[in-house]
């Protein structure tokens, strides 16, 4: 696994919190803006950096996902 280039700090578009700025994070922030500004989701509909639990072949697996998008209280999309 490679290392990430850290570019300083930035403000998370969804939460308003200060986060580490990396190349990957810049793509996440662009995607978050797209979901809100172009697709019309509310910031409150989007949960960034969430862990999801799955069961694969009888074993529990935790994965980190970039966004979970909910509409009317129901999970609509996982990115």
Average pLDDT over residues 32-39: 97
Q: With H, G, I as helix, E, B as strand and everything else as coil, classify residue 62.
A: strand
Average pLDDT over residues 16-39: 95
Q: What is the pLDDT of residues 36-75, one digit of tens each?
A: 999 999 999 999 999 989 899 999 999 999 999 999 889 9
pLDDT confidence tier of residue 3, bands split at 50, 70 and 90:
low
| One-character DSSP codes across 12-36 | -TTT--EEEEEHHHHHHHHHHHIII
pLDDT of residue 76: 87
Q: How many CA atoms lie less than 13 Å away from 47 in the CB half-sphere? A: 15
């Amino acid at each position: 696994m490679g290392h990430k280039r850290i570019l300083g700090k930035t403000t998370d578009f969804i939460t308003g919190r200060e986060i580490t700025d990396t190349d990957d994070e810049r793509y996440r922030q662009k995607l978050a803006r797209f979901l809100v500004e172009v697709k019309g989701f509310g910031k409150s509909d989007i949960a960034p950096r969430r862990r999801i639990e799955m069961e694969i072949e009888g074993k529990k697996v935790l994965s980190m996902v970039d966004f979970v998008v909910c509409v009317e209280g129901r999970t609509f999309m996982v990115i």
